[in-house]
Amino acid sequence: MSSPESGSYDATEAAPHGKPRATEWPLWEVFIRGQHGLSHRHVGSLHAADAESAIKNARDVYTRRNEGVSIWVVEAAAIAASSPEEKGPLYEPSNDKVYRHPTFFDIPDDVGAM
Amino acid sequence: MSEPLFEFLCRMGDNTLVLGHRVSEWCGVAPVLEEDIALANTALDLIGQTTLWLNLAGAVEGKGRDADALAFRRDVWEFRNVLLVEQLNGDFGQTMMRQFLFDLWHKGMLIALQGSSHDQIAAIAEKSLKEVTYHLERTTDTVIGLGDGTDESHNRMQKALDRLYPFVGEMFVSDDVDAAMVAESIAPDPADLRPVFDARLDEVLSDATLVRPTSDFAHKGGKSGQRHSEHLGHMLSQMQWLQRAYPDATW
């Protein structure tokens, strides 16, 4: 996920969901690179017993309509996420520093996507 | 016996039709959401393949029947699927074992059919093989995972294997239809597919810590249509109900 506002991960300290039940498969986050996509995007999450079956499940749940050419899965518990409460100190200082954004240049078409 | 090519195509199409319908019975009630979706995908793949096989069968027959007419307007004794695919779903393990045994045969058959002298059959085989390769990967992993899993899952998988193994033999029995297909290089002799099937089955069962039954007794009568099990009639009464009650109904 690209911004802390869009949600938090189950397994982070910021959003404790308790321990999974013993009979429950771990949660995996799924990232898919689309046909013309440049990078993998987070598309959702699912449960699976291991990484291999997580990829198979991701294939079935998220790519049946030809969405992807590449799948990444990562166990949700392995993701470190910033905490939504720290939004202010982390991001607001950059709001008034427009010179940090390269908006004053005309980008030549030949450069392509940036 | 009607025309051998028609018979053969009905066998291919009825296998995928009956198994596709059986698998679709899991829709909404599978043990976990991810498996539910995966099973529905498998069912849809199989029904898609059915459309190709049975439309071709109808065209070969030349009596104006299409895939829908063949699927929904034939009675039990006209079906040509092997007995394995009409067996009840049972528990999830039994469904997975049935699927694995069929996928393993199916893949070998489709690989051979890619080299068929009949262009359309070769094309259908090539398209189906991509789907079936994935089906087999998935069921192989599941059979190994559950077989080599907990005591409970292991016991259930062994039970499923013991129960379904007597239906394996029929997939490799050759008859007059097969001989006619071999003579025209349309399809392989099913018996020739057995060694590859056996070798892979032994590997997977060994990884799954499951024991292959020693008896090679095989129930027969599905692909010839002579003796289906009682389950098929019940399934068809559900599957065909709408077209029987309201013939030619459309959306």
Tokens of A75: 């166990």
Look-up of token digits 């051979």: B112
| DSSP structural state of residue B6 | H
Does A101 map to a domain?
A: no
State the Cα–Cα distance between residues B94 and B30, nearest whole angstrom.
Answer: 13
Does B104 map to a domain?
A: yes
Q: How many domains does chain A have?
A: 1
pLDDT one-digit tens code per residue, A25-83:
899 999 999 877 779 999 999 999 999 999 999 999 998 777 778 999 999 999 998 88
State the Cα–Cα distance between residues B141 and A50, nearest whole angstrom.
Answer: 11
Find the domain containing A53 and state its range: 8-83
In CATH, what number is assigned to the domain containing residue B65? 1.20.1260.10
Chain A's closest residue to B145, CA to CA, is A49
What pLDDT, on the 0 to 100 scale, is given for residue A17?
A: 53
Chain B's closest residue to A25, CA to CA, is B32
Does A94 map to a domain?
A: no
- What is the pLDDT of chain B when averaged over all its residues? 96
pLDDT one-digit tens code per residue, B68-116:
999 999 999 999 999 999 999 999 999 999 999 999 999 999 999 999 9
Half-sphere exposure of B8 (CA within 13 A, CB side): 25
Q: Between these two residues, A103 and A59, which has the higher pLDDT value? A: A59
The ipTM (two decimal places) reads 0.77
HEC per residue, chain A: CCCHHHCCCCCCCCCCCCCCCCCCCCEEEEEEEECCCCCCEEEEEEECCCHHHHHHHHHHHHCCCCCEEEEEEEEHHHCCCCCHHHHHHHHHHHCCCHHHCCCCCCCCHHHCCC
CB pairs under 8 A between A and B: 27
Segment A8-34 mean pLDDT: 68
Does B250 map to a domain?
A: no
Contact state of A56 with B138 under an 8 Å Cβ cutoff = yes
Q: How far is A16 from chain B (nearest CA, A)?
A: 23
Find the domain containing B63 and state its range: 4-245
Contact state of B41 with A25 under an 8 Å Cβ cutoff = no
| Strands A41-47 vs A68-75: parallel, antiparallel or unpaired | unpaired
Most B CBs within 10 Å: which of A25, A53, A62, as the mutation test of the B interface?
A: A53
Does A88 map to a domain?
A: no
Does B251 map to a domain?
A: no
Q: How many domains does chain B have?
A: 1
State the Cα–Cα distance between residues B80 and B170, nearest whole angstrom.
Answer: 12
Does B189 map to a domain?
A: yes
In CATH, what number is assigned to the domain containing residue A31? 3.10.20.520
Does B144 map to a domain?
A: yes
